[in-house]
Structure 1
């Protein structure tokens, strides 16, 4: 799990750096347009692509930290003896969903690669390059959710409210 944690940490740093770069690129583009320059048409295209990569790259790290949005209101009213089992069942369902998404996005990625599909915007980008982050990151999310099924810690605390 240490290797998975390091990979997730690197992906989270990548997501954070990408978010900052996108912000600066958009500010630069707006500034250039304000002063009458055309700027680059690629900035918005890369920003769109970057948002997909940011969401995918940060997700496994967020699962590990329990940083995703979930509601504890229901688990707060469950009996304390049932809360861990319920949490493990929910985490197991999350694993099944992630595994399905690994399969689905993996199929889409390989199909795009095999057919040579291209996403045409201000520049032509191989579609498999855009989709490729999805099966990788959904796999990492499934591994992270497995901690809450098989490990000592559960995903839910059983207490309603914000826990920071």
Structure 2
């Protein structure tokens, strides 16, 4: 098992670089939402005309923010976690629980990735455009779901491998050797 530790951490290092890029894109999305909302307020209150596109843009950007930021949040253990039971579990039970949670989560992300990929490809292939205030290609709205769930799936698979080989679990940051 000790031989696997180095390649696992090497893979995680590269995965973290990609997750960081996605996270930075999500941060830019947050700033873009903030700027568009301020612009919408200024045009409505001071210029007397409403910039309707700001509402659509904010909704689209939130999808990017959520799905592109989720893999990094999972890595940082920044997601919501109910530790009512995990805080009293023993090491073996915690490891088993971690495996079950990661496996179910990985399967869910894989299914979401697969179906969102099919939908996104369909939108792209048929050149479907949303005709709201922003004429936005519809595949661009579902693309972050594809990317985010793919990297969440990879992260959960890595957590499964780390739980089996190294003995870590998703519930606590410190590693148990």
Q: Same fold (TM over 0.5)?
A: yes
Tell me if structure 2 keeps the 8 A contact 1:87–1:154: yes
Q: Is the 8 A contact 1:57 1:133 kept in 2?
A: yes
State the partner residue of 1:59: 70
Alignment of 1:121-136 (within 5 A): 121-136=132-147
* Contact persistence 2:113–2:150 (CA under 8 A): yes
How far apart are residue 47 of structure 1 and its match?
1.1
Q: Does 1:37 align with 2:48?
A: yes
Structure 2 match to 1:90: 101
Distance in 1, matches of 2:77 and 2:99, equals 14
- What CA distance in whole angstroms lies between the structure 2 residues aligned with 1:148 and 1:72? 18
Distance 2:54 2:21 in 1: 24
Q: 1:157 Cα deviation (Å)?
A: 2.9
Q: Name 2:24's counterpart in structure 1.
A: 13
For the Cα contact (< 8 Å) 1:64–1:145, is it kept in 2?
Answer: no
Selected match of 1:46 from 52, 57, 60? 57
- Give ranges in structure 2 of 5+ residues lacking alignment: 1-10
Unaligned runs of 5+ in 1: 159-164
**Residues of 1 paired with 2:43 and 2:159: CA distance?**
48
Q: Shift of the alpha carbon at 1:48?
A: 1.1
Does 2:96 match 1:81? no
Deviations 1:92-141 (A, max 9, x none): 11111110111110111112122222222112211111111111111101
C-alpha displacement of 1:25: 1.8
Q: How many residues align?
A: 158
TM-score, length-scaled by structure 2: 0.82
Distance 2:74 2:158 in 1: 10
**What CA RMSD, in Å, does the superposition of the two structures yield over aligned residues?**
1.7
Give yes or no for the alignment of 1:146 onto 2:157: yes
**Alpha-carbon offset, residue 39 of structure 1:** 4.9
Q: Is this contact kept in 2: 1:87–1:156, CA < 8 A?
A: yes
Q: For the structure 1 residues 149 and 106, does the alpha-carbon distance in structure 2 shift closer, same or farther, using more than 3 Å as the test?
A: same
Normalised by the size of structure 1, how large is the TM-score? 0.88
Q: Which has the higher helix share?
A: 2
**Contact 2:68 / 2:147 at 8 angstroms: preserved in 1?**
no
